[in-house]
Amino acid sequence: MATFTEQLNEQIAYEFAASQQYIAIAVHYDAETLPQLAAHFYRQAVEERNHALMMVQYLLDSGDEAVIPAVAAPQVVFVDDVAPVALALDQEKRVTAQISALAVTAREAGDLVGEQFMHWFLQEQREEVSSMSALLHVMERLRDNVMAVEDYLARESGGPNAVDAGAPPAAGGAL
């Protein structure tokens, strides 16, 4: 079984891949002249990149090797404007399972510092799945009027995220 450090390095790849997927989704919406949806996913891309950099910083602080991997190309073609959000929700659910497995690995190894580090990510994933589920429900209800989704995002997004207040430090200061 892989160690916590090995799994965390794998997770860095998943986080960078998630960031790339969100950029691809943002570009899709940008090309469709849907600026609120595009901005939402550009922000999500930066957030996922910062998650990877938090993990890098943790490994650096721990004296462990941080591996910066290549990632597979993201999906860039979508059948409609709902499909990217459905893909994003699936991705968030998959990442939640990965983060949960990391926390279990740390716990089983008696790595309390590693387990504690993962707690912030568990809370973040709960919020991500919830917000992406809500956005998907809105997209499904308004699939024939995507401009109403734009209005929804303009009204509902923004403001500080309470989860971010206790975030671990990111390598490079999350530039």
Please work out, in degrees rounded to the nearest 5, the angle formed at the alpha carbon of residue 100 by the alpha carbons of 12 and 70: 15
Q: Which contiguous run of DSSP H or E holds residue 25?
A: helix 4-31
| The predicted structure's pLDDT at residue 2 | 87
Residue-wise pLDDT tens digits, 61-91: 999 999 999 999 999 999 999 999 999 999 9
Give domain limits for the chain.
4-173
- Contact between 158 and 36 (Cβ < 8 Å): no
Q: Which residues, 6+ apart, have CB-to-CB distance to 88 below 8 Å?
A: 21, 22, 25, 41, 44, 132, 135, 136
pLDDT band at 169 (very low <50, low <70, confident <90, very high): confident
Task: Return the CATH class of domain 4-173.
Answer: mainly alpha
Q: Report the amino acid identity of residue 120.
A: W
Q: Which residues, 6+ apart, have CB-to-CB distance to 154 below 8 Å?
A: 36
Residue-wise pLDDT tens digits, 29-38: 999 999 999 9
What gap in Å lies between CA 149 and CA 71, rounded to an integer? 31
Q: Report the amino acid identity of residue 109.
A: A
| The predicted structure's pLDDT at residue 164 | 60
Q: In this structure, what is the dihedral angle of CA atoms 36, 42, 45, 47, given to the nearest 10 degrees?
A: -70
Residue-wise pLDDT tens digits, 85-142: 999 999 999 999 999 999 999 999 999 999 999 999 999 999 999 999 999 999 999 9
